[in-house]
Chains A and B, each alone.
Chain A
Amino acid sequence: MVGIASFGGYIPRLRLSRKSIVDANGWFNGSLRAYAKAERAICSWDEDSLTMAVEAARDALAERPRDGFRALYLATTSAPFEDRQNAGILAQALRLGEAVNTMDVGASQRAGTTGLVAALDAVAARGGPVLYLASEKRRAPAASPAELLHGDGAAALILDRGDGVARFLGSRSASVDFVDHYKGKGREFDYGWEERWIRDEGYLKLVPPVIAGVLAETGLKPGDIAHFCLPCTLPRVGQAVAKAAGLPESSMRPNLDGLCGDTGAAHPLVMLVHALQEAKPGERILVASFGSGSDALVFEATAELPAMQRARRGILGALRRRKEETNYARYLAFNDLIKMERGLRSEVDKQTPLTTLYRKRDMLLSLVGGRCERCGTAQFPKSNICVNPNCRAAHSQVDQPFSEFGGKIMSFTADSLTYCPDPPAHYGMVQFAEGGRMMVDFTDVDAGQVEVGMPMRMVFRIKEVDPARGFTKYFWKATPSGEVKEV
């Protein structure tokens, strides 16, 4: 048997009020007013599908050793690189080692579940553990319904032999070239077809047979399903599919519309993690998807689940960590959806020397520093001669990951001069309880709320983007680790 050994989730902290979108665009498309309530999750300027995947993965990994993973798969349709393995960046950031088999899965809103089926098959055949990540930050044109209904987020599963917290019972797939929308090569946005057709010929005709198939395969009856996860932004279609498949009305899981929004290829997994956080031992969860066909998978919660529910942030915890954003223009600017005067200071050449990046990949992507074996001093970056003035041993340092260290702010500023996509730029000296310190950028902080002594944790984020070469540069930043006040 194979199952889910652990899960994690991440939803960005910023929630764009949908009213602010409608206030800006309702003059043009009055039908948007139907969505003017609630909110959607948006990435900050320094988040993307990779940074969110790292956060979801860290939630799932918790204290678990990072070595020994057989594979890491990433499902997304919004990867920052078309040719540079995105899953490989994640494996490096997460310090999974080089012996891990990495793979990107994409090209369909069904990618999240299609990859999951393949990953479960791989675990069944060759064993685990496999770190399975799904993450999405889709771009939508201004004044589109997608802009209101989509959201950004990520989910992580650790799959392994054994039942884990949820035993995998079976799956069924259908591959159908039903083009409800598509994104052509080099295109910025999706191009979609009429919703009524998508509902009647798509969801209602394609999904129920797949559900029936998985129930048949697993020997379950529709009434055996306690949690039914099906992402769908069309109103009431999820319920209609459940009814057509004979699933209990009560099994329909909330699709998180108005909370984080539809996270695309990641959404079946975001909904699955959300369900795992609420399911009781013995309950069965059916996850289905729609996009170029459909997948359906069934899991059964085990007695191990309640302990993990208490130990993980997951989607529930990530949803609680929120800051309302009512400035639609800031969202447009973060996503390069509006031409901005960014100032002469933004024009510095940002080329990345790829040789340096490769040589220093442990330092830059994994936040690995050094620890002196003679005096024990942790230091970043790792160096040839120990920084401790009472030691100064040469060639004495071993790798010391800093990413999981907890720190406190020693000094900081809010800088309005330096170019930052979200000024003022906050940064400062963070001193780690385990030793070492670094002058580092802060993220997800609020002007006027930062103080000396504030506890911080490190997060993997975009350092900057090189617009001339289309290269996204990543590094780690410090963010408040305490319970953040709702602002």
Chain B
Amino acid sequence: MAKGIRDKVAILGMGCSKFGERWDREADDLIVEAYEEAIKDAGIETSQIDAAWFSTAIEEQHVGKSGVPLATALRLPYIPVTRVENYCASGSEAFRGATYAVASGACDIALALGVEKLKDTGYGGLPQRGRGALNSMYWANMSAPGSFAQLAAAYRAKHGVSRDDLKKAMAHISVKSHDNGSRNPKAHLQNKITEETVLKAPLVAEPLGLYDCCGVSDGSACAIVTTPEIAKSLGKHHLVTVKALQLAVSNGQEAQHNSWDGSYFATARAAAKRAYQEAGIDKPREQLSLVEAHDCFSITELVTLEDLYISPEGGAVKDVLDGFYDADGKVPCQIDGGLKCFGHPIGASGLRMIYEIYLQMQGRAGARQRKQEPVRGLVHNLGGMPHQNVCSIAIIGKHGS
């Protein structure tokens, strides 16, 4: 295996817009909002950026195709801009492009920016999308909650968990994320909720109720990356560097071959193993300070915590109910509210998660700052459906940790 990019790339600056129902803002307004914070944080000029990666997943709802919308919004000076899309993991894909460009030496400073403007559809939830000409002719009539809900059916069957126990653990996950979101001024949802509210909510896709589903939001997030040497030369201390970046993509095996039981993410396990190797982590339960998991649905977070080898297989229900992943627990998960409450503007989400880990590493997370000083955090960004998906894992930490 290649040696990887551990500590080869530092985050120079990051920005994130307020997430939510931004009825009065266009996508380019959100782009500028995130970018202005990042460029100020980085302490550089736009002219110093060598190349940019731009992530949007449902571009037909807002900016349209190509890198042009980013270049235009920021008036980038004829530099390379690549638009990327990889389901809901698009934001991580932009980060990967920029980071690899720096690691390779092709660029000194690169920009990754994601945006999504989802609240212009006229209805709640993700927009109805084309799935490809042939896919639309035979795929099941799936929504996002409906495809992820099936994790619960398969997980219950495999681990012998009752519907009530699973619903209770899922409810704890959502209550925890709302608690965390209430301490985050940029979060889409900042209200606290109770377990009773979660359990009594209407069903969206059996067994997922309304509060098992994340918010669909407008928002943008971005990262400016460079080498640790350049970061230091620009006067940066306490560097936050990339420890690992891994991506695993389904190849049809889960969808077509009877070797997958539906209760976990085959991609997440593959990506996690490679990421830990790249980052030099062998005991993730002890060595990770924080996790930002792709909690599009409460059940996704629950099974993912096992796929990341933090909870033992079949043990996430207990860990969740024990508060292991709460903000004051051993490994806080979604300390910023997660997709559930920070929100899920698809193209921006992976970058938003990195933004949170970046702030936490620097002690800049305000009211939600982890009490015990964090050293390294994991970002898990997932796109697609349990049986056919794209899973990105980034490990971000203090330089030299």
Which A residues lie at the B interface, using CB under 8 A? 343-345, 347-349, 352-353, 356-357, 360, 363-364, 377, 379-381, 383, 387-389, 410-420, 424-425, 427-429, 431, 435-441, 452-453, 463-464, 473, 475
Contacts and interface: CB of A to CB of B under 8 A. Distances in A.
Contacts of B205: 413-417, 424
Contact of A343 (B123, B141, B256): B123
A348 B137 CA distance: 14
A375 B38 CA distance: 54
Given A348-B128, A429-B150, A436 B258 contact: yes
Interface string B147-160: 10111011011000
Given A344-B123, A387-B252, A410-B261, A440 B137 contact: no
Give chain B's interface residue range (CB within 8 Å of chain A). Answer: 35 or more
Q: Which of B141, B149, B256 has the most CB of A within 10 A?
A: B256
A434 to B, nearest CB: 10
A253 B112 CA distance: 77
Contact of B153 (A360, A411, A417, A463): A411
B258 A473 contact: no
Interface of B: 121-123, 125, 128, 130, 133-134, 137-143, 145-147, 149-151, 153-154, 156-157, 202-206, 208, 251-253, 255-259, 261-262, 385, 387
A356 B134 contact: yes
A439 B204 contact: no
A417 B255 contact: no
Contact of B154 (A414, A452, A463): A452
CB-CB nearest 10 A-B residue pairs = A415-B146, A411-B150, A427-B140, A413-B149, A418-B143, A411-B154, A411-B262, A414-B206, A415-B205, A452-B157
B154 A437 contact: no
Given A349-B130, A413-B153, 6 more contacts: A360-B134, A414-B205, A417-B125, A417-B143, A429-B262, A463-B137
Nearest to A464: B141
A345 B254 CA distance: 28
A416 B141 contact: no
Contacts of B203: 414, 416, 424
B142 A439 contact: yes
A415 B125 CA distance: 13
A8 B147 CA distance: 36
9 contacts: A344-B123, A387-B252, A388-B257, A411-B153, A415-B205, A416-B203, A417-B143, A418-B142, A427-B142
Contacts of B157: 411, 452-453
Q: Which of B143, B157, B204 has the most CB of A within 10 A?
A: B143
Q: Which of A360, A415, A436 has the most CB of B within 10 A?
A: A415
A279 to B, nearest CB: 42
Given A356-B134, A413-B205, A377 B139 contact: no
A311 B153 CA distance: 36
B154 to A, nearest CB: 4
A383 B253 CA distance: 12
B259 A435 contact: no
Given A387-B253, A439-B387, A417 B145 contact: yes
A475 B138 contact: yes
Contacts of A379: 256-257
Contact of A437 (B133, B142, B256): B256
A316 to B, nearest CB: 33
Nearest to B149: A413
B122 A344 contact: yes
